[in-house]
Structure 1
Amino acid sequence: MPDLRVKALQLLTRRDHSRAELHKKLAPLAESEDALEAVLDALQAERLLSDSRFASQRASQRGSRYGNARLRQELRQQGVNDEDITEALDGAGEEVERCRQVWAKKYGRPPESAEERAKQLRFLQYRGFSGDSIRRVISGADE
């Protein structure tokens, strides 16, 4: 069990992990499921492991490039619960403004044709921005 704790601490010193992500990485090294859960519970009790902190950091890091839908999907895949995800996305900043920054960096000028408009819409959709945010940015660029 001490080896499992040491490995967990080594992983956590590099970056924050969600509980599910750390569980997945440590499972092959654990003697039993109970031992692994005990280590994870101890780390959570010591506040060394926190899904809400992981979600907040992840959203702030990747929020400058991606929309809320994409961030929500990534955090769910990492095993973060919906309550922590919502809290993290609230702290990531206004989605419309982030969308505007991503659009300005990539294109910086209004679409001149329907094809170009569709291309810009697809790009922002792929980045996970909501339809409302995309419409506000693209229509604001036309003005």
Structure 2
Amino acid sequence: MTEDREARDIRIAAMNLLARREHARAELLAKLSRRFSDATAVAAAVEQLAAEGLQSDERFCEALVAMRTRKGQGPVRIRLELQERGICANLIDSHLDESDSDWVELAREVYRKRFGAAVATDTKDPKDRARQMRFLQYRGFTGEQIRRVLER
């Protein structure tokens, strides 16, 4: 009787988390494991939710890529965050490659927002150029994308 109740409590807790936002399977397992002691029941509940389509790593990945892209973050930073949340490399690759974003154009937009219309090549000071490159690198853009933005 108590096992049924705990299983029900785990499912309710998991559904409450998923109602707020998408969660990766590993992330959901970690959160529920901190709250409930029966690791087998937690794993079974998460597996059942995934089988029912209520939890999906693919949907989570899609949502996170879209959200981070809207915030002006590049593919390197997004990839790292997805890896930290336990998403497999194949799924990450497919979503970053499929994403509608033109990463160079996004990098240009982020650059314009931060530094205005002036391009780093217009700047004679190498310190300014390095600062601008570090900013784009921090945002998660690749060296090639940064080079294309700054060389216009």
Task: Identify the TM-score tier after normalising by the shorter chain.
Answer: over 0.9
Number of residue pairs matched? 140
Match of 1:58 in 2: 64
Distance between the aligned counterparts of 1:46 and 1:74, measured in 2? 26
1:29 Cα shift?
2.5
Q: Contact 1:60–1:92 (CA<8 Å) still a contact in 2?
A: no
Match of 1:99 in 2: 107
Match of 2:142 in 1: 130
Distance between the aligned counterparts of 1:60 and 1:128, measured in 2? 15
1:86 Cα shift?
1.1
Q: Which amino acid aligns with 1:118?
A: A
Match of 1:88 in 2: 95
Percent of aligned positions that are identical: 40
TM-score normalised to the size of structure 1? Answer: 0.93
Q: Contact 1:99–1:124 (CA<8 Å) still a contact in 2?
A: yes
Distance between the aligned counterparts of 1:16 and 1:75, measured in 2? 13
Distance between the aligned counterparts of 2:100 and 2:62, measured in 1? 8
* Poorly superposed stretches of 4+, deviation over 3 Å: none
Which has the higher Rg, Structure 1 or Structure 2? 2
Where does the alignment leave 5 or more consecutive residues of structure 2 unmatched?
1-6
Q: Counterparts of 1:17-32 in structure 2 under 5 Å?
A: 17-32=23-38
Q: Counterparts of 1:60-79 in structure 2 under 5 Å?
A: 60-64=66-70, 65-79=72-86
Q: Contact 1:18–1:54 (CA<8 Å) still a contact in 2?
A: yes
Match of 1:139 in 2: 151
Q: Which amino acid aligns with 2:90?
A: E
Q: Contact 1:96–1:137 (CA<8 Å) still a contact in 2?
A: yes
Are 2:126 and 1:119 equivalent residues in the alignment? Answer: no
TM-align CA RMSD:
1.1
Distance between the aligned counterparts of 2:109 and 2:78, measured in 1? 16
Distance between the aligned counterparts of 1:67 and 1:23, measured in 2? 28
TM-score normalised to the size of structure 2? Answer: 0.88
- The DSSP-based 3-state class of the residue aligned with 1:63 is helix
* CA-to-aligned-CA distance 1:84-137 (integer Å, 9 cap, x gap): 111221215121111111111111211312111111000001111000000000
Where does the alignment leave 5 or more consecutive residues of structure 1 unmatched?
none
